[in-house]
Amino acid sequence: MPSEPTRVTLTDDGPVLVRGPVEIELPDGTRVRSQRPVTALCTCRRTRRPPFCDTSHRTRVREERGA
């Protein structure tokens, strides 16, 4: 039975989203794993949790709808 391909979503102004468990190899050769259903990988390098996005790229607080 064929398995679903890994889905990688590139966002306009945020992280790269990877669907399913993922193993990431860092530039120094170490590997980190995420078992999350969707993993957000930082591309702006502002994160305090590399390689994972912690939303540090956001420059303003979003307003609540209906407020």
Check residue 7 and give its pLDDT. Answer: 92
Domain that holds residue 8: 1-58
pLDDT, block means (10 residues), the chain with 67 residues = 83 89 94 95 89 79 54
67 domain residue, yes or no = no
Q: Tell me the C-alpha distance between 7 and 17, whole Å.
A: 8
Q: Tell me the C-alpha distance between 40 and 53, whole Å.
A: 5
Q: Is the pTM of this model over 0.75?
A: no
